[in-house]
Amino acid sequence: MSEIAENRAFNWFAPSRFALLLALLVLASFPQVVLGIQTFIARDYGFFACPLAYFQKQCFWHGEIPFWDPYNYCGAPFLAQWNTMPLYPPALIYLLLPLTWSLSFFCLLHFWFGGLGMYFLARRWTSNDFAAAFAGTAFCFNGMTLNLLMWPSHMATWSWMPWVILSVEAAWRDGGRKIVVAAIVGALQMLAGGPEIIFFTWLILLALWIQQLMSKDGSSVSSRSWLCLRFPIVVAMVALMAAAQLLPFLDLAAHSQRQAGYADLRWSMPGHGWANFLVPMAFGSVHGEGIFFQDNQTWTSSYYLGLGTLWLALLAIWKCRNRRVWLLAFFVVVSLICALGDNTPVFPAIRKLLPQLSFITYPIKYLLLLIFVAPLLAAFDLTRIKEQMRAITIVGTILLGLTVAVLVWVVHSSMSVTDAHAAVLNGISRIVFLILTAVVLLALTRNSRGGFVQAAPVILIGVAWLDVLTHEPAQNPTVPPGIYQPGMARTQLAMDPQPELGGSRAMVSPKAFMQFIQLALRSPEKNYLAKRLGYCADCNLLDAVPKVDGFFSLTPREINRLFSLIYGATNDFPRLDDFMAVSQITAPDEMYHWLPRKTFMPLASAGQKPMVMDDRETLRLLADPNFDGGKTVFIAPEDEHLVTVTNAVVAAHVLNLKFGNDSVEMDVDSPAPSVAVIAQTFYHNWRASVDGQNVPLLRANEAFQAVEVPQGTHHVRLRYVDRAFELGAALSAVTWAGCLVGLFAPTRRKAAH
């Protein structure tokens, strides 16, 4: 323990007390959410997280595993998406409790849990309760963590990050049951489903492990051998325990639009992005839902660390001579360079060397590394704060000068998106917090036993919390929970005909699709209601209304190509819309008004003439005004050898069509062998059978399904069978069982002599 331990207040932050303090800070920040009076609404929370949680909950209460979502993208994999959390055990919180309260509570519970994990990690590394408490608070209360609250999956994955690093380090150091504990903790993070955060977690662990192997700490050859073995063992166990989720995800990724080399460098940190660490509202303005966004940045509404955290992290990099600090500083540099994306030549060059990194879209996400390590750097500096009065003064003066320079820059900036007045007020308020932080930090360097000095640790945490809480307009606005009432839009719209599962679909027109992206009402409630009536993103799930488009991270590449055609063109394709069973389409005047279509085909039909066409030609013919999905079906070249039918069969009919979440059943009556076509997304996990006998499932009309049926009346059944999940579930079950036995098995005692 350093000299800082002489202050009794520094030792006040025992684990139980910090857990209570952090819970109070969370309650003070979101009282209306914790009490269930209001719920989150911002951006992906309302348009993605809540509808998907509702769909998952419906499947749960019907005893179904949500393998497939038949309501979006003409059908799309659900469980394999990973960020839908179908296999994450704590998801039971919102599956069992009222959704409009429990999903927000789920996010805040993980928010608190993550701060507690950072506390224990920093405590382990610094042996200082106060430093750990500050790190735990800073891990929760920063702009990017607050932004993550709109993604339950990302919030859950983020919350496990410090716990995984803490437990895996203990595993390779001590072995035994700690290996099992580390595997369980790692598997829980893996099941939460934020790929980028998981990647960053294990990247840090790999670096720490290599650093440990290279260190000259006097460890024996035997201990180094165990160190070499234990980390790979933990990695293997985590992969096996999460195999039920990982294998379907990897399978979908291999068949999705995100192939190696897929690049999306949007939302990189701009060259002036460093200014937002000092003046968070510089070079941007308040947009929809009253949320501030930096220019050309909408993935995160903020990455503001808080001035106290930034100040202490810089001091640590400058003054602390510690191998862990040096490694964390390295990650700061890597994070900043990669976050700049194509604004420098470095990151594009790295992606050329490692094409697999292209799976991480939006370079701004690399700032998550900085957000993670900054609280730890601050904790290291707090352990030796008493000897840093001069350094504190120098760094504080530099920060003050840079803040003033940013304000001058903003005032004279020619950027049209910048709200200079708001930025100046924001900068002045940050200067006030900078001064308050300076007073507290300087007080911490004194040996006085006065009341203010004794209370300084608590005051510093309070100032850091208030600094972040007020650094810009609310990042997570809230609304009354009734906004998510199931069936509300269906009742209000009263569509005729009503799109139903197995009957027909709604379609957001390409024009409306773009209008939804541009629409940004200041009122979060009005913004959401307007878009919900237009079935924007995944809102249709709340009304059980199937539609053509949707909002997922991954989609099968064939349907993605088709949607690129539909939503990338300026003209409409009414005959293609007919084939996709579109009975309602967005009206041309307003995106939340709908027009009925009377010419739509049923979702399953039979008797079309099969024609083998490559993908390029198929897309061209589907866009042709003369395309008739009732007369012709285009078969993919790889299925040519499976088709024996050569002509149309006019008298073929589909009877008794029934759609489920992961099944389709129908009877086909045909006077000759024919092809039955199902306007549902083709994906290789679907299996077809005719009268109980397995038959090939054909890829038809670029992205849909077809089955060849013999003469006569036959029962056709399609079902979703995920072999990757079945294999993964078997591996996971065996590994979990072995781990639980190893965890709770009685320890053998040494025989008495």
Nearest to 664 by CA among 725, 600, 709, 720: 720
Task: Please tell me the predicted confidence (pLDDT) of residue 451.
Answer: 78
Give the distance, in angstroms, between the CA of residue 615 and the centroid of all CA atoms in the same chain. Answer: 32
Which residues of 527-624 form beta strands (DSSP E)? 582-586, 594-596, 604-606, 609-612
C-alpha to C-alpha distance for 618 and 613, rounded to whole angstroms: 6
For 666-696, give one letter per residue: b (16+ CB within 10 A) or e.
bbbbbebbbbbbbbbbbbebbebbbeeeebe
C-alpha to C-alpha distance for 493 and 534, rounded to whole angstroms: 9
Burial of 31 (0-12, 13-18, 19+ CB in 10 A): exposed
**Is the pLDDT assigned to residue 263 strictly greater than 80?**
no
- Average pLDDT, integer, range 703-718: 97
Task: Please tell me the predicted confidence (pLDDT) of residue 750.
Answer: 46
Q: How confident is the model at residue 8 (pLDDT cuts 50, 70, 90)?
A: low
Burial of 413 (0-12, 13-18, 19+ CB in 10 A): middle
E strand or H helix that includes residue 285: strand 284-286
Q: How confident is the model at residue 3 (pLDDT cuts 50, 70, 90)?
A: very low
Q: How many CA atoms lie within 13 A of 718 on its CB side?
A: 33
C-alpha to C-alpha distance for 273 and 254, rounded to whole angstroms: 34
Q: How confident is the model at residue 295 (pLDDT cuts 50, 70, 90)?
A: confident
C-alpha to C-alpha distance for 642 and 748, rounded to whole angstroms: 62
Burial of 602 (0-12, 13-18, 19+ CB in 10 A): middle
Give the distance, in angstroms, between the CA of residue 663 and the centroid of all CA atoms in the same chain. Answer: 28
Helices (H), 412-450: 420-444
Q: Which amino acid is at 14?
A: A
Task: Please tell me the predicted confidence (pLDDT) of residue 569.
Answer: 84
First and final C-alpha spacing in the chain: 40
- Average pLDDT, integer, range 96-125: 97
Task: Determine if the pTM surpasses 0.85.
Answer: yes
Task: Please tell me the predicted confidence (pLDDT) of residue 656.
Answer: 96
Task: Please tell me the predicted confidence (pLDDT) of residue 369.
Answer: 96
The DSSP call for residue 37 is S
Task: Please tell me the predicted confidence (pLDDT) of residue 10.
Answer: 61
The DSSP call for residue 539 is G
**Is the pLDDT assigned to residue 304 strictly greater than 90?**
yes
Q: Quote the mean pLDDT of the chain.
A: 92
Task: Please tell me the predicted confidence (pLDDT) of residue 358.
Answer: 67
Instruction: Give the pLDDT confidence of 128-187 residue by residue, as tens digits.
Output: 999 999 999 999 999 999 999 999 999 999 999 999 999 999 999 999 999 999 999 999
C-alpha to C-alpha distance for 278 and 130, rounded to whole angstroms: 25
For 119-133, give one letter per residue: b (16+ CB within 10 A) or e.
bbbbbebbebbbbbb
**Cβ contact 198:189 at 8 Å:** yes
E strand or H helix that includes residue 713: strand 712-720
- Average pLDDT, integer, range 713-730: 97
**Cis peptide bond N-terminal to 497, omega within 30:** yes
Task: Please tell me the predicted confidence (pLDDT) of residue 351.
Answer: 78
**Is the pLDDT assigned to residue 2 strictly greater than 60?**
no
**Is the pLDDT assigned to residue 333 strictly greater than 90?**
yes
Task: Please tell me the predicted confidence (pLDDT) of residue 447.
Answer: 77
Count each helix (H run) and each strand (E run) in the chain, helices first. Answer: 27, 20
